[in-house]
Structure 1
Amino acid sequence: MEIHLISKLTCPNCGYKKVEEMPTNACQFFYECENCKSILKPIKGDCCVYCSYGTVPCPPIQENKPCCG
């Protein structure tokens, strides 16, 4: 299975979209929106900001592995 490392995050507060490369060695629990400076945190039940606000879930979830959270 090919793991995709590029995901487009969308800020739920202002709608700003940014393409980011996901880390492969850790889950990202916080992300600052470049536009409105909001600090994004995972939605309850999601392991990281990419699973909550990205177009592609984080690498561990793509591999059906437990999240690092």
Structure 2
Amino acid sequence: MVDNFERAKTSIKTETEGEEKIHNSYQGIYKQFVEIMKALGVVAVDTVGKEFDPQVHESIMQEESTVYQKV
């Protein structure tokens, strides 16, 4: 979910006053969301290059690869 917030953040342009207000409002909501997640003990999980662990990770798709093969 944080990834979606961060993607949305990059799409906001602050070239006009109205867009700057949207950006500032977004920043406030994003900061509040992150603080709530931290208070609940939610932390980011390092996943890149790691073996898939269904106890920790959530699968969203499956793709064949020769990069990360079990030996």
TM score, norm. by length of structure 1: 0.24
| Rg comparison, structure with higher value | 2
TM score, norm. by length of structure 2: 0.24
Structure with the larger strand share: 1
Higher relative contact order, structure no. (Cα contacts within 8 Å, ≥ 6 residues apart): 1
